A and B are shown apart, each in its own frame.
Chain A
């Protein structure tokens, strides 16, 4: 069953949209020398209760009993909202069960006494076609009003997507930001000793669930990137003994080289529309950035030509510019150019080396790895101003943006052991957490919100 067939079956319908007097996030005007950051009015939005969703007339489904699903959906909603770093959540554990009439008529007095500011209630019904209908309601406890309600029809196996959609709706409603929970991550699963590391291509939901290994580890896999439509993955493999970029088709399990060449190709990236592949190629030791049509029958276009290492790259969301890395000045620094290779200019001047630039889906910031002693992940504006370092560890590397441009994932390597893990951090650098993965993880690449 493919991800995409699944997504087409997920029909979303807005049942109603009521009272808009909810406590909304407030946007703080940006300081003149810093990137704009949204500060949330935490006193109004911080505390959210998520009791288990009600399952009237519980029945068994291929994904388990609908009553159990109601609790699991609440757990995912609660955990998504908590992991965003914006909210504190209660429940479903530790909260009393609610009845079906209560879903649309909350006992505000009871919740005020908890105390919580926001309340999420809902139900899970199993229809005649076997699909789930998940209803999701957000209430402002202080005002005693309904803020929003949403309904989702999903096959039972996609119950997590319904939970992510509900969490996304609540997050967006309360913060004013775009959603991001209903998205996926490609990364490299690592195991084994430091000098014989097994590296496998793997994919998972944005919260680490629905994990799947794609390659078996016999050949080293590196640096994956989900295509914008999630149908394929670009990655580097040593499958024939040489480092080369392949496009892996998720439905068929087949892969092909992006271009026939005797030279190593690496650092693959998609253009935002998925039509173009950006990559790096070393010819006689000299690495430059190229682009080629994703259709598989185009001619490579060389975008850089300086002696030295021009590598990586990331398109601006409008596809008109590319931020990349070059050591033409003598050390790794960040440059921006037009998508045709013209007007190349350096934007990083903060001291130390700068690497792995990634343009935010919101266009306002570029994330990078800064190497000055330790490796730290940071952001700057596309003109190089407003640099802000978000992490402080021995080796944090390779930032990737959440689809809404408000959270960054990266991987952290431990000194000595070489053990790796995938972490995420918010744009203030104050909320940092490790993602659960079955084994060590590196090279995360966050895809867009699922279609």
Chain B
């Protein structure tokens, strides 16, 4: 889906206008589609997608159910707060986790390349913990969640520009067998 693409584009547009250190990445100019109340669209309809090929409770199932980019939340530079849009994504993850109480997850925290190495390790850990703390606050057992920080070591987008960095400042939920 395009929600995150739109979010990134919007972030790109507004990022230059925002004062550095601003804690609110949600702005009025974001398109309504990013409000996060309409998850679970077509791709997650189990009857329409040949669900027989995907094992329920698996990582593939998780990715299908939470939707494209539904496995991750994004952050602004140096920030680690979970905003309304992130909360909607994490709620969707929690719903899936409620279906498979035996499944554990790792939340991987990442930073973009425009930070020093040690600081980015700390920042990635902070972001992973933010996602974990929210999941716990909505009922996911903390013992099911492990966090790990990769700092700037594992970028998702390879460019050296704001669009790539926005995608790399992330906390990604991965299921563990």
- B122 close to A309 (CB less than 8 A): yes
Q: In the complex, which of the residues B80, B116, B121 contacts A398, with contact meaning CB atoms closer than 8 Å?
A: B116
B125 to chain A: which residues have CB within 8 Å? 264, 282, 285, 287
Q: Which B-chain residue is minimally distant from A263 (CB atoms)?
A: B125
Q: Determine whether A222 belongs to the interface, using a CB cutoff of 8 Å to chain B.
A: yes
- B158 close to A195 (CB less than 8 A): yes
Q: Determine whether B103 belongs to the interface, using a CB cutoff of 8 Å to chain A.
A: no
Interface of B with A (CB < 8 Å)? 21, 78, 80, 113-119, 121-123, 125-126, 128-130, 133, 148-149, 151, 153-156, 158-160
Q: How many residues of A contact B (CB 8 A)?
A: 43
Q: In the complex, which of the residues B115, B122, B160 contacts A282, with contact meaning CB atoms closer than 8 Å?
A: B122
CA distance A371 to B158 in the complex (A): 21
Q: In the complex, which of the residues A284, A309, A398 contacts B117, with contact meaning CB atoms closer than 8 Å?
A: A398
6 interchain residue pairs of minimum CB distance? A285-B129, A287-B122, A267-B118, A355-B116, A282-B125, A309-B122
CA distance A220 to B124 in the complex (A): 16
Shortest CB–CB separation between residue A279 and chain B, in angstroms?
A: 10
Given the contacts A287-B125, A331-B21, A282 and B149 also touching, CB distance less than 8 Å: yes
CA distance A369 to B160 in the complex (A): 19
Interface residues of A in 364-412 (CB under 8 A from B): 369, 371, 375, 394-395, 397-398
A/B pair count, beta carbons within 8 Å:
95
- B126 close to A309 (CB less than 8 A): yes
Q: Which A-chain residue is minimally distant from B154 (CB atoms)?
A: A195
- A287 close to B126 (CB less than 8 A): yes
CA distance A331 to B130 in the complex (A): 19
Q: Determine whether A227 belongs to the interface, using a CB cutoff of 8 Å to chain B.
A: no
Q: In the complex, which of the residues B119, B151, B155 contacts A194, with contact meaning CB atoms closer than 8 Å?
A: B155
- A242 close to B148 (CB less than 8 A): yes
Shortest CB–CB separation between residue B133 and chain A, in angstroms?
A: 8
- A397 close to B117 (CB less than 8 A): yes
Q: Tell me which of A10-18, A73-81, A336-344, A413-421 binds B.
A: A413-421
CA distance A282 to B129 in the complex (A): 10
- B128 close to A285 (CB less than 8 A): yes
Which of A264, A395, A415 has most chain B Cβ within 10 Å? A264
Q: Can you list 6 A-B contacts with CB-CB less than 8 angstroms, sorted by A residue number?
A: A195-B155, A223-B118, A284-B129, A287-B126, A356-B116, A356-B118
Interface of A with B (CB < 8 Å)? 193-195, 197, 199, 220, 222-223, 236, 241-243, 264, 266-267, 280, 282, 284-287, 309, 311-312, 325, 327, 330-332, 355-356, 369, 371, 375, 394-395, 397-398, 413, 415-416, 418, 443
Q: In the complex, which of the residues A327, A356, A413 contacts B78, with contact meaning CB atoms closer than 8 Å?
A: A327
Shortest CB–CB separation between residue B131 and chain A, in angstroms?
A: 10
B118 to chain A: which residues have CB within 8 Å? 223, 266-267, 280, 311-312, 325, 355-356
- B126 close to A282 (CB less than 8 A): yes
- B21 close to A222 (CB less than 8 A): no
B133 to chain A: which residues have CB within 8 Å? 285
Shortest CB–CB separation between residue A205 and chain B, in angstroms?
A: 24
Shortest CB–CB separation between residue B101 and chain A, in angstroms?
A: 23
CA distance A264 to B109 in the complex (A): 12
Q: Which A-chain residue is minimally distant from B121 (CB atoms)?
A: A266
B119 to chain A: which residues have CB within 8 Å? 309, 311-312, 325, 327, 332, 355
Given the contacts A312-B118, A327-B78, A331-B78, A285 and B148 also touching, CB distance less than 8 Å: no
CA distance A243 to B111 in the complex (A): 15
A287 to chain B: which residues have CB within 8 Å? 122, 125-126
CA distance A327 to B120 in the complex (A): 12
Contacts A285-B128, A309-B126 given; 8 further ones with Cβ under 8 A?
Answer: A236-B121, A264-B149, A280-B118, A285-B133, A312-B118, A325-B118, A331-B78, A398-B117
- A311 close to B155 (CB less than 8 A): no
Q: In the complex, which of the residues A236, A327, A413 contacts B113, with contact meaning CB atoms closer than 8 Å?
A: A413
CA distance A286 to B133 in the complex (A): 13
CA distance A282 to B111 in the complex (A): 15
- A415 close to B160 (CB less than 8 A): yes
Q: Which A-chain residue is minimally distant from B158 (CB atoms)?
A: A194
- B80 close to A243 (CB less than 8 A): no
Shortest CB–CB separation between residue B113 and chain A, in angstroms?
A: 7
B129 to chain A: which residues have CB within 8 Å? 282, 284-285
CA distance A394 to B160 in the complex (A): 11
CA distance A199 to B150 in the complex (A): 13
Shortest CB–CB separation between residue B96 and chain A, in angstroms?
A: 23
B115 to chain A: which residues have CB within 8 Å? 371
